[in-house]
Amino acid sequence: MESVDKKDVLILAIESSCDETAASVVRNGREVLSNVISSQIALHTQFGGVVPEIASRKHIEKINQVITQALDDANVTLDDITAIGVTYGPGLVGALLVGVAEAKAIAYAAKKPLVGVHHIEGHVSANYIEHPDLEPPFVCLIVSGGHTHLVIVKDYGEFEIIGRTRDDAAGEAFDKVARAVGLGYPGGPKVDKTAKEGNPHAIEFPRAKVEGAPYDFSFSGLKSATLNYINHARMTGEEINVPDLVASFQNAVVEALVSRGVLAAKEYGYDRLAIAGGVASNSALRAAMQETCDKEGIRFYHPSPIFCTDNAAMIGVAAYYEYMKGTRHGWDLNAVPNLKLGER
Ligand code: KG4
Ligand code: ZN
């Protein structure tokens, strides 16, 4: 058993913003002692997406087990924990409430400080887990099911947003296209796998640029073009080559993400670029980012796939840096479904 030094700062972190019930113990902001994730994906698959009501009910059912497991795996008890970190937004309100109420109850009963964490700050912080050398400032591209943001991480928990999506999030586009060709939910990993057998240059899909906003994204045009292509083929009885189709779609998304991320690093003068969020586990995106960053002399950082999709370890890392800065939340902490990045 690893011994816990009294000087160590141990965060017990809880994440329940969408369809994963997760808890983790993180030591001194960088060392993950446990990372427990109870995924509800199988439950939502039959509906083709997350059903909020079902998500909340499942969180309630699982959360105590998940937390007990996280403490056990880390070989610690609640006594050893310094503070409780919890995602309080953005996300599904009913899902967030389960984690927030649980965190408040534990913090109150065990007399521990409570630190609310922004979910996206968590995603960015996932990069610190496996890269001890990575410290702010750097550029980060956050690409998840609900968010597409290009930010400069000025300091721990301090962001300057320089670009965002004007319509769909990158992950949302993956999910919708996957659904249209019958690959199922969640679409991202399925598209990633199927695209490996396809030709990314088979179909020339549009590359949208937002006039006057070089760092903004737009994926709705690409999504519509892909769906139109499918409908047209179906109407004319043409057979669709699904691997070619999803490889071409994925290639267009990857090009948009890589070009803006690298442009931001160059124009703003940073030699480090990180990616975060569920879509950051996409193999084509990682390969293309690595290749372009190598050419441009930029160091490229990405978390392991398990830390890209929703998890509580990333919340524990973010909570540690917030805790060290003095952030504390009261018993009135509430779920904030549309919490903006940088808001407290
Ligand atoms: O970060 P995340 O777990 O949840 C949110 O905070 O939204 O991201 C989930 C999103 C889904 O849209 C999923 O399809 C996408 O990430 N995703 C992927 C891959 N793995 C997950 N997209 C592309 N390629 C992947 N390998
Ligand atoms: Zn997420």
Q: Which protein residue's CA is at the shortest distance from atom 16 of ligand 1?
A: 278
* Probe target for ligand 1 pocket from 35, 185, 219, 279, with the most ligand atoms within 8 Å of CB: 279
Residue 274: which H helix or E strand, with range? Answer: strand 272-276
- How many CB atoms lie under 10 A from the CB of residue 271? 13
Interval 159-198: pLDDT, tens: 999 999 999 999 999 999 999 999 988 899 999 999 999 9
Q: What is the C-alpha separation between 172 and 217, in angstroms, rounded? A: 13
Which pLDDT score is estimated for 238?
A: 93
Residues of the chain short of pLDDT 50, as ranges, are 1
Which pLDDT score is estimated for 3?
A: 64
Q: Is 94 in the pocket of ligand 1 (CB under 6 A)?
A: no
Q: What is the C-alpha separation between 282 and 187, in angstroms, rounded? A: 11
Instruction: Find where tokens 């967030």 sit.
Output: 96
Interval 52-62: pLDDT, tens: 999 999 999 99
CB neighbour class for 146 (10 Å; exposed up to 12, middle 13-18, buried from 19): middle
3-class secondary structure, 262: helix
Distance from the first to the final alpha carbon of the chain: 37
Instruction: Find where tokens 């301090």 sit.
Output: 158
Q: What is the C-alpha separation between 66 and 14, in angstroms, rounded? A: 9
Asked if 179 contacts 185 with a C-beta cutoff of 8 angstroms, the reply is yes
Q: Is 278 in the pocket of ligand 1 (CB under 6 A)?
A: yes
Q: Is 171 in the pocket of ligand 1 (CB under 6 A)?
A: yes
Q: For residue 63, report the phi and psi dihedrals to the nearest 5 degrees.
A: -60, -40
Asked if 120 contacts 149 with a C-beta cutoff of 8 angstroms, the reply is yes
Q: What is the pTM of this model?
A: 0.96
Q: Which amino acid is at 269?
A: G
Instruction: Find where tokens 């004319």 sit.
Output: 236
Alpha carbon 163 to its chain's center: 17
Which pLDDT score is estimated for 34?
A: 98
264 Cα: distance to centroid of ligand 1 (angstroms): 23
Cα→Cα distances 316→15, 22, 78, 312, Å: 9, 11, 15, 6
Q: Which amino acid is at 169?
A: A
Asked if 94 contacts 56 with a C-beta cutoff of 8 angstroms, the reply is yes
Question: Could you tell me where the DSSP H helices lie in 74-113?
Answer: 93-110
Q: What is the C-alpha separation between 19 and 311, in angstroms, rounded? A: 10
Asked if 259 contacts 251 with a C-beta cutoff of 8 angstroms, the reply is no
Interval 220-270: pLDDT, tens: 999 999 999 999 999 999 999 999 999 999 999 999 999 999 999 999 999
Which pLDDT score is estimated for 101?
A: 98
Which pLDDT score is estimated for 48?
A: 81
315 Cα: distance to centroid of ligand 2 (angstroms): 10
